[in-house]
Structure 1
Amino acid sequence: MKRAFAILAGAVVLAAGSPAAKAAHRDGRLIWGACSDAELPAPMECASLDVPVNWAAPGGRTVRLDLVRLPATEPARRIGSILGVPGGPGSSGIDDLKRAAPDLRELGRRFDLVGYRPRNHVWSKTMPAICLKPGTALEDPRSRERFAAQAAVMAKAFRDCQRADPTGLFAHLDAVSVARDMEAIRAALGEERLSFMANSYGGVTSIAYARLFPQRIRALYVDGVVNHSAGWNDQVLRVSVAFERNFRAFTGWCAATPACALHGEDPGAVWRALVRAADREPISATSPEFGEGEMTGWQLRQLAFPTDPGPDHANWLTFAESVDKARRGDGSGFGAWVLGNTRVWAMPGVLAMTCGDGRGYAGHAELRTYRRAAEKALPNLGSVRLDGLGCTGWPLKVANPSRPLLPDGLPPLLGAGSVHGDLVVTESFTRMVPGSVSVIYEGHGHALYLMGKKCPIRHATAYLALYQLGTTYRQLERDHRVRPLTISARRPEPGSKIRVVSGSLKKVYSCALDRLSYRVLESGYMTKDVLRYTPACKTGPGTSGSPVLDAASGEIVGINNTSNRDGGRCTLNNPCEMDRDGVITAKKATAYGTQTYWLTTCVAPGNAIDLNRPGCLLPRPGQ
């Protein structure tokens, strides 16, 4: 049964299969060879790369990273390599590639698909036994003194783990260190620029890489990722709001389903009474793996509810049965998951893979602020984060604190996520980079391309191959009965009728062009000569990147960009306008698009883009 916090608390991997056969690397370049692991059959090839444990001391100890490659099946049309960025932290990119390869055949025609086992996966296999011993039984500290006492106990557990570590990895498991490993892999692959497919916690690593090496990113597809730049509290609250909606959906389903163990009652009221009672008197639970233990309402709120109903609502049926048993004093239905997660997130060796990225609460005041926000927004599931509490005793300087990502030099990104969970955090990631869009998946799931979901895989394949199209528009029209739209060569006029066509939402917004705004500012970004719509076009989340069509000609005059959601000024999701005199104004629900006619001014014979063409309005690099 999948539980709510599996997405952001992380599916930490503590077990691993046998490694790939190691091939030597020479002069910084990988030498690929046959894999000795029987589970990695041809055409997979294997190699390895030694990187510094501490990138600030490159002449010191090293850690060996195993890699696998699926060579492009059409080498004459090869575009480059795609590196998988696994989640966890501690997951294996080799396992990801084995799992996803059958569904990525189309992508594999023109790309080498590369997976690797990052340093945190190596650590998960080799950490000393003391690092797997929980530092304490974590609890939600209601006073400053209890917070400090719990942090002190965890700090001792961290120091004991670090002293027992013979590799030096304990202090260098942060995403910045992993990102530098990724750059070493890029160089060893011999690629000037690399494409990436990141999932889940891989978003933290991707942001670290984008900060350090933006010029090395050819394309970046992010699937159910964490937007580290926004901060952990922000991300957990965002996704938990979606989980709260799922809980309300569960109560409605249960009320209408006789097979539900809570049918005929108010399921929400039963649940809230259960967690309140468990906070007063913990519920006994047993697990074959974790033995006997007790569960509080604090633990149940964040760990017990499965956001995915499962096939034929099997997960929700089991959840209702477990709630019914728990209110009678039998917590066995939740025992394995709750006791296991509580134990894992107190293990210093597990937490070391994420505390260096600033996962903990900065102090008791921050914890109280988060608790109030969570309890207000999430009446059924709101609680202080278990994983954040474990990191409060982190004894080292946070190597990779949350901070804004500057989009300079980055290509537009493509994201994908489930509307029932991680879409909201993925969208917060992609919206940092102008021109980026996210695919809305209406089903349940996490890391969708690893689950074989055809829709996001199709979009990812098209995006990653965007710069090297192998099919003509005529062929697209013949094979798929889809007629490509034409970009208008004329600058649109205020008052002209327009339509914003959202494929993801399957909706058309009809209105008029209100005006051409001199400048639009949003969270550090500035766009020039921007289309502003009349109020009839109430675009919102999920419509960014949609074409804006002239209603009369059907030609593209712009790309839908953003709208002011809350009435704020110049912040993310709250753009403002600046006129030629520098006067700033902002109005809630005002929507904007980016003009496209200037693209046509740079098209040379053969449909090639020529930035030096007379009259070209596109800026040249450096301008």
Structure 2
Amino acid sequence: MNRPLVGTLATAALGAATLLGTVGTAHAAPQDGGRYPTQHKKTKAVDFAGSVALSNCSGSVVRMPGSKPEDPALVMSNGHCLEGDMPGAGEVVVDKPSSRSFTLLDKSAGKLGTIKATKVAYATMTDTDVSFYETGSTYAEIEKKYKVKPLELATEHPAKDAKISIVSGYWKKIYSCGIDGFAATLKEGEWTWKDSVRYTPECQIIGGTSGSPVVDTATGKVTAINNTSNESGEECTLNNPCEVDENGKKTVHKGIGYAQETYQIPKCFGDGNKLDLNAEGCVLPKPKAARR
């Protein structure tokens, strides 16, 4: 598999790096305070503030509802966007040292500077497709230096027909569409994902959009992470995911993109943004050695 996945192939459109995005509706920034409060429903136009560009994918600086300004900032992207080999089916990466750099963007997609990881806190392509890098900067340090606040992960299941914006830091482009529905099981090559978000056709995502935060425009919160699309109409092959129902029937939606939900992830991070896969309500897969 070439990378990124959809990204499945970030190299698919390297000549178009100057693409500019259209701005959708609704990214309410968190307010100041000792603890970042829940964002209000008042919305404003979605922009690029808090998004990052990786060498091969997109990503974003994110916080959990309980994250504090002094906590180490987390960068979220796809599991298949990891440097080196992608996680195989059933593989989980935890606490792996990393010095990866991320280009932080301002609201207009201008380059603000670089933040660096200290480790991969978590990554997998099993059940979901996500990676979290812990950085050497706190949220407060990033905000003081760059005037940028993190995006907040929602804690409620995304809703059918909700309006969304997919913010690609790699391409500096924002895609706006809606949630068409959900795929109970989505298969691509050796990987299987659960309860995936299916986009309406307006979001024609391309290679390099992998890892983009999917923002619910009614709340301004991150409701999912963009990860793949069916590029050529094939069934369950690389770059061509298929949906599988409870009876094993496979359905292909050529040209349609998908994302993995993130609403349950905050239950897996505790005080200080520390990963706790044994926390109540955490459903992220565990490393094989830690499974019981």
TM-score, structure 1 normalization: 0.28
The residue type paired with residue 558 of structure 1 is A
Is the CA contact 2:115–2:135 (under 8 Å) kept in the aligned structure 1?
Answer: no
Residue 207 of structure 2 is aligned with which of 506, 526, 541? 541
Return closer, same or farther for 1:461/1:553 CA change in 2, 3 Å cut-off. closer
3-state SS of paired residue (1:488): coil
Alignment of 1:523-534 (within 5 A): 523-534=189-200
Asked if the contact 2:116/2:136 (under 8 Å) is kept, the reply is: no
Alpha-carbon RMSD across the aligned residues, in angstroms, is 3.1
Query: As a proportion of its length, which structure holds more helix?
Result: 1
Aligned to 1:591: 257
SS at match of 1:536: coil
Counterpart Cα distance in 2 of 1:580 and 1:416:
35
Aligned residue type for 1:531: V
- Tell which has more relative contact order, 1 or 2 (C-alpha 8 A, sep 6+): 2
Distance apart, 1:602 and its partner CA: 1.9
Q: CA deviation at 1:506?
A: 1.2
Report the AA paired with residue 197 of structure 2: L
Distance 2:178 2:13 in 1: 33
Return the match for 1:436 from 80, 90, 93: 80
Which residue of the other structure, out of 170, 180, 185, is the alignment partner of 1:504?
170
C-alpha distance in 2, partners of 1:501/1:242?
17
After superposition, the Cα gap between the structure-2 partners of 1:557 and 1:463, relative to the gap in structure 1 and judged at 3 Å, is same
Q: CA deviation at 1:463?
A: 4.7
Which structure has more strand as a fraction of its residues?
Answer: 2
CA distance in 1, matches of 2:102, 2:276: 30
Tell me the matched-pair count: 185
Residues 377-388 of structure 1 aligned to structure 2 (within 5 Å): none
1:9-408 matches, within 5 Å, as none
Q: Is this contact kept in 2: 1:415–1:437, CA < 8 A? A: no
Q: CA deviation at 1:607?
A: 2.7
SS in 1 for 2:226: strand
Q: Please say if residues 523 and 572 of structure 1, whose CA atoms lie closer than 8 Å, have aligned partners that are also in contact.
A: yes
Whether contact under 8 Å (1:513, 1:534) holds in the other structure is yes
Structure 1 residues without counterparts, runs of 5 or longer = 1-225, 228-238, 246-413, 418-433, 440-455
Aligned counterpart in structure 2 of residue 462 of structure 1, from 93, 108, 116: 116
Pair 1:562 & 2:224 matched: no
Q: How far apart, in 1, do the equivalents of 2:278 and 2:287 lie?
A: 11
- Normalised by the length of structure 2, the TM-score is 0.57
Q: Is the 8 A contact 1:415 1:438 kept in 2?
A: no
Do the aligned partners of residues 620 and 519 (structure 1) sit closer, same or farther apart at CA in structure 2, a change above 3 Å counting? same
Secondary structure of 1:469's partner? Answer: strand
Inter-partner Cα distance in structure 2 for 1:530 and 1:495: 14
* In structure 1, distance between residues paired with 2:164 and 2:56: 28
Residue equivalent to 1:614: 280
SS of the residue corresponding to residue 149 of structure 2 reads: coil
Partners of 1:242 and 1:559 lie apart in 2 by 20
Q: Does 1:520 align with 2:219?
A: no
Deviations 1:117-150 (A, max 9, x none): xxxxxxxxxxxxxxxxxxxxxxxxxxxxxxxxxx
Q: Please list every run of 5 or more consecutive structure 2 residues that lacks an aligned counterpart in the other structure.
A: 3-10, 16-53, 58-77, 84-99, 104-113, 122-133
> 1:257-305 CA distances to partner (integer Å, 9 max, x unpaired)?
xxxxxxxxxxxxxxxxxxxxxxxxxxxxxxxxxxxxxxxxxxxxxxxxx
Q: CA offset at residue 464 of structure 1?
A: 5.9
Tell me which amino acid in the other structure corresponds to 1:512.
G
- Provide the secondary structure at the position in 1 that maps to 2:142: helix
Q: Kindly state the Cα deviation for residue 469 of structure 1 after the two structures are TM-superposed.
A: 2.5
- Mapping of 1:414-433 within 5 angstroms? 415-416=55-56
**What SS does structure 2 have at the residue aligned with 1:620?**
coil
Once the two structures are aligned, what percentage of the paired residues are identical? 40
Task: Report the structure number with the largest CA radius of gyration.
Answer: 1
Distance 2:201 2:188 in 1: 19
